[in-house]
Amino acid sequence: MSGAGAWTTFWRTVRGRAYPRVIGAQREKSWVFFEIFLPLLQVTAYVYIYRAIQAPAEFVGFVVLGGAMTAYWQNVLWSMASQLYWEKETGNLELYIVAPTSRMAILLGMALGGMFATTLRAAAVITIGSLLFRVSMTVTNVPVLLGVFVTTLVALYGLGMLLSSMFLLFGREAWHFSNLLQEPVSLVSGFYFPVRALGRVVAAAASILPITLGLDAMRQLLFPAMMANLRFLSAEAELAILTVAAVVFLVLARQGLATFEALARREGRLSVRGQ
C-alpha cells in the first residue's frame, strides 16, 4: 500500500473505531444516564462527608472536579484497558487482527471516541454538581487550564492505550485488574482531596498517573486561594511533566502493542475465550 493509501486507511480506521463511541454511545440513553448518575452519586456522598465535618466550601469544588475526572479514569479502565479483552470475548479481536489496518489506529480511534463521549458526561457531572452544591470557581488562567486539561487527557489516554495492549495477555484477570484500579487510584491520585495530603513521596509516586498532576493543576487554577498551601507542584511544572508523560505514554503504547501482540500470538492468547 502506498504511503498516502496507508494514511487514508489509518484515519478511516480511527474514524471508524471512534464512531461507536461518538455516536453509538449516545444512542443508549440508559448508559448516558448511568454514566452521569453514578459519578454524581459518589460526588454527592463525598460532598455530604465534607459538609458533616464542616470543611471549607472549596472542598466541595474539589470533590465535584474529582468526580468529573473519575469519569475519564473509568473510561480509560473499562473502555480502553479492558476493551481488547471484551473484543476477545465477543470474537471481534480476530477481525481486528486480520483487518488490513494498523492496530494503533484502532486504539487511537477508541481513545478519541472515548474522550469525546466522556467529556460530555464529565461536563454534565461538573454542571449538575456545581449547580446542586453551589460551587464557585475562579478561572485564573484560561490558556493554562485548557492546556492542562488537554494534556492530561492525551497522557491519560496514552496510558490507556498502553494498558490496552498489555491486557491482550490477560484472560478474566483483565476485569479484576480494572476493578482493582478504581479505589486505590482514587486514593493515591487525590480524587477527593488534594494529593499533597498523602505526603510528597506518595504524591510523587502517584504522579505516574497523569490524572494526579492534572487534577492538582486544575484545582490550583480553579481554586487558587485554597490551593495556595495545598498544591503539590506549581501548575506550570505539572503541565511540563504532563507534556513529557503524554509523549512517553504514546511511544510506550506503540512499542507495547507490538511487543504484547507478538507475545500473545506466540502464546496463543489472542483467541482464547471464557478464560
Partner 1 sequence: MSRNSQGRGEAWRSFRTATWLGWQIESNWADPFVFAVYSLVKPLAGAMILVFMYAVIAKDGLASPLFPAVFVGNAVYLYVPSVLSGISWTIIDDREHYGMLKYVYTAPVSVFAYLTGRGVAKAATASVAVVVMLTVGALALRLPIRLASIDWGLLAASLLAGSAMLAFFGILLGGVTLITARHNYGVGEAVAGGLYLLCGVVFPLDTLPHWLAAVGRVIPITYWLDAMRRAVLGEGTAVLSGLSNGLLVSVVVGSTAVLAGLSILAFRLAERRARARGLLDMQTMY
Instruction: Please give the residue ranges that form the binding site for partner 1 (CB under 8 A).
Output: 28, 30-31, 33-34, 37-38, 41-42, 44-46, 48-56, 59, 89-90, 171-173, 176, 179-180, 182-184, 186-187, 191-194, 197-198, 274
Q: Least distance to partner 1 from the beta carbon of 124, Å?
A: 15
Alpha-carbon span 152 to 66, nearest angstrom: 13
Q: Which is nearer to partner 1, 58 or 148 (CB)?
A: 58
Q: Which is nearer to partner 1, 119 or 182 (CB)?
A: 182
Q: Least distance to partner 1 from the beta carbon of 191, Å?
A: 8
Q: Between helices 103-133 and 235-266, what is the axis angle to 10°?
A: 140
Q: Least distance to partner 1 from the beta carbon of 96, Å?
A: 15
Q: Which is nearer to partner 1, 104 or 163 (CB)?
A: 163
Alpha-carbon distance values, 45 to 63, 75, 181 (Å) = 10, 21, 20
Q: Least distance to partner 1 from the beta carbon of 108, Å?
A: 23
Q: Least distance to partner 1 from the beta carbon of 263, Å?
A: 19
Q: Which is nearer to partner 1, 55 or 270 (CB)?
A: 55
- CA atoms within 13 Å, Cβ hemisphere of 71: 30
Q: Least distance to partner 1 from the beta carbon of 200, Å?
A: 15
Alpha-carbon span 155 to 198, nearest angstrom: 23
Segment 3-10 long-range contacts (CB within 8 Å, at least 24 positions apart)? 6/102, 9/100, 9/101, 9/102, 9/105, 10/101, 10/102, 10/105
Q: Which is nearer to partner 1, 146 or 180 (CB)?
A: 180
Q: Least distance to partner 1 from the beta carbon of 253, Å?
A: 25
Q: Which is nearer to partner 1, 197 or 205 (CB)?
A: 197
Alpha-carbon span 126 to 149, nearest angstrom: 14
Kindly give, in sequence order, each residue whose CB lies less than 8 Å from that of residue 275, ignoring residues fewer than 6 positions away: 171, 172
Give residue for cell 479483552: 85
Q: Which is nearer to partner 1, 4 or 52 (CB)?
A: 52
Alpha-carbon span 179 to 184, nearest angstrom: 10
The secondary structure of residue 271, as a DSSP letter, is: S
